Amino acid sequence: MAAPAGKRLGAVAATLAVVLAAAVGTWWLLRDPAPYALRKTPKVDVTVHAVTSDYPEAGELAGDVDPLLKVYVQRLAAGDATDLARLGAPWYTGRERAARQLISRYGAQAGEPVDALVRDPVVPYLAAVELRFGDGRRQEVRLTRDDDVWWLQLGDGDPVAP
C-alpha cells in the first residue's frame, strides 16, 4: 500500500533539507575567508617559502600567507593604491597613503620575479616576510591575522588591535 501524500511530501522535504544542509556545510568548509583574491592581470611571479627552521609552524605559515603575498605583489604591479590599501588591516589608518608610498618605491619591480621569505612566527597572529625583488631591493612586510584572514600592517595602527 502506498504512503499517503502527506507522508511522501514530508519525506521529500526532509530529504531536500538534508541535501541543502550538506551543500551549505560543504560550501562553508571550502570557502576562502579572505576578502581578496588574485586577478587575471597583471601576472606576477612570486615564490613563497619559509626560512630554514626547526619548527613546522614556519612552513605552515608560509602556506597560510602565500595568497596575501601574491595579491600584494600583484596590486603593487598594478599601481592601484585603493586596491592595495584594501589589503591593509581594517583597523589601521592611513592605508591609502601608505599604499601610494609602497607603489612608488616597489611598484616597478613587482612585475619581475619576487622571492618571499617567511620567518619563524613569534606569535600565531603576526608574521614577518622579506620580499626580494629582481633588482636586488628588499622589503620587510609585516602581516597580522584576524580570525582566519591575514592582512598587511599597512599604515598606522596596532597589529593586535582587532
Q: What is the mean pLDDT of each run of 10 residues along the chain (162 residues)?
A: 65 59 41 74 92 77 93 95 95 95 95 93 87 95 92 87 66
Q: What is the pTM of this model?
A: 0.77
CA nearest neighbour of 130 among 146, 144, 119: 119
Q: What is the pLDDT of residue 31?
A: 40
Q: What is the pLDDT of residue 33?
A: 56
Cα gap 81→23, rounded to integer Å: 38
Q: What is the pLDDT of residue 1?
A: 55
- Grid coordinates standing for 132? 626580494
Q: What is the pLDDT of residue 29?
A: 36
To 5 degrees, how large is the angle CA 65–CA 69–CA 74? 150
Instruction: For the domain covering 46-152, report its CATH number.
Output: 3.10.450
